[in-house]
A and B are shown apart, each in its own frame.
Chain A
């Protein structure tokens, strides 16, 4: 029994609907500081989101009552989480360590971690990508990328 009710609440659609309701309600708070004409459209959208998410929640719970299987988000949660973390890590590394270094490390790292392990291929691909970015953006267009906050000042 408890297992079943637990399942009902962790269905992805139910969780999403609850998430939408909470976030939209949170955004409604600062809306009260705005003058009414400024608040009209955002408030309408937030209330719309809350109402629609409630409908979604009811629909999904009815499906649960009929014992329909929930939507499956992923078959490999670890790989998905790993991919997200690697991307976030890459962005942070660019910000703090610098774009070129981080990129030169990330391309082979991501490819290696997710199953492409040919050393020559990794080397060539990294070289081509980083080289052409430098050539086009830095050398050609003098566009600068983050140099790394750690080394600044």
Chain B
């Protein structure tokens, strides 16, 4: 297969195919950077157009958009505390405080370099390890996937913020929203109030735009200022000067890449969970965890590495088994089918040039990210923030409407988003943390579905959940995550007096 890999390379450099990647990356950065527009939406809008394109042009565009958008989402996350894509939520934790301290430029440079590194690692995983990693995916049946979801939900305890009661209310709210729609097993309605539009559940982008983008817009309009947000004090320096300041991050990059690739090959969870987990792990490993959340550049590096490291790896189960690792990969599968590329083990044999070419495009997309996103894109977007606040606010409102409307092409979703926006504004003012809502929505329904599938397989016997090694390992990990920090504290406390 490595011969096939090399054989596919010349085609990738055909100028139309290469141009597609370049355009894709730029478009991806722009889409990701617009609050409200997401990679999922951009690629699904693109899919119908790819019918008329050569396969590698179409796939190159998609690979570029995916890579670009995962970084682009960091731009408003850092500058406005509005994650441009669901995966950029964790980037706001330290990115926005950095921007407030006047280090926004450096935060974005850390983000672009980390994104690129994560993307490159992921592309290599896809190119070199797809067949063995797809075997790993096969180990994960409903009970194992249930424990993965529980593991992810357990990490909510690190996101509760200052007031655990409020954090738990947020988490319960998120999980409750995830059960709206049709029941995962029987298909009957839950809390849809007879609306067909609610049957498929609440799309993550609707919730995200409402909760995260609307409150800052209200803030922009609330303060009667005519100036921009943080005018010229981004603190940007040339990227070659910024990179040496990041040399201490290699452990975080490595860890983030590993976590991202790992989450990518597991079906369903996707970029935001990868970013949250990478952030938590990096903070736990850090020597000075108290600076995290106050503008620690390493936090941005952890989140951004992981949310790009699941891009290509999410395609491993998508290409080999037909099950997408992320929502974006799900849309891309459609784009592949359009070109007669049906997922499965035979795909690599039947269309090696296209499939391996696509993998190369992922790699080049990730590399191009530094060049294209580095200073040019970052600076021009940062300049947008010099717009007078009322104008910036009104433009974001329009983008929010476009992004949410385009998901399914209906106004119903826009009204839902406004409802979540009102909730989000209250939550923001009363300091309810938002990340538990996002994780709860992503993982709640997912955990329920797999738990119930596992119980059906076991014909109601809950022991089925603990009957294999993979499950037991996951349970042990979850327990370690929950009680680990407490034990560490106890140990530290008991050592001190001695």
Interfacial residues, chain A to chain B (CB-CB below 8 A):
12-13, 16, 20, 27, 30, 34-35, 37-38, 41-42, 45-46, 48-49, 52-53, 55-56, 59, 71, 73-76, 79-80, 82-84, 87-88, 90-91, 94-95, 99, 103, 106-116, 121-122, 125, 129, 133, 137, 141, 143-146
Contacts and interface: CB of A to CB of B under 8 A. Distances in A.
B49 A141 contact: yes
Contacts of B414: 91, 94-95
Contacts of A88: 418
A83 B217 CA distance: 9
Contact of A125 (B179, B217, B391, B422): B391
B173 interface: yes
Contact of A91 (B46, B411, B426): B411
B100 interface: no
B169 A146 contact: no
Contacts of A59: 165
B430 A12 contact: yes
21 contacts: A12-B426, A12-B429, A16-B426, A27-B191, A38-B186, A42-B191, A45-B173, A45-B176, A59-B165, A74-B429, A87-B214, A90-B397, A94-B411, A95-B411, A111-B390, A116-B388, A121-B388, A121-B391, A133-B402, A137-B406, A141-B46
Contacts of B387: 125
Chain A's interface: helix, strand, loop or mixed, by majority? helix
Interface string B163-203: 00110110011011001000101101011000000000000
A79 B165 contact: no
A42 to B, nearest CB: 5
Given A52-B168, A71-B430, A91-B414, A80 B218 contact: yes
Nearest to A149: B411
B360 interface: no
A98 to B, nearest CB: 12
Given A48-B172, A74-B429, A90 B401 contact: yes
Contacts of B358: none
Chain B's interface: helix, strand, loop or mixed, by majority? helix
Interface in B9-52: 45-46, 49
Contacts of B168: 48, 52
Contacts of B166: 56
Contact of B179 (A12, A45, A49, A95): A45
A99 B395 CA distance: 14
A49 B393 contact: no
A76 to B, nearest CB: 5
Interface residues of B, number: 56
A146 B405 contact: yes
Given A52-B165, A88-B418, A83 B222 contact: yes
Contact of B188 (A16, A34, A141): A34
B429 A110 contact: no
A121 to B, nearest CB: 7
Contacts of A12: 426, 429-430
B162 to A, nearest CB: 13
Contact of B224 (A56, A79, A122): A79
A129 B395 CA distance: 7
A37 to B, nearest CB: 7
Contacts of B173: 45, 49
Nearest to B177: A45
B139 interface: no
A91 B206 CA distance: 14
B44 to A, nearest CB: 10
Interface in B388-417: 388-391, 393-395, 397-398, 401-402, 405-406, 409, 411, 414-415
A125 B168 CA distance: 42
Contacts of A71: 429-431
Contacts of B165: 52, 55-56, 59
B481 interface: no
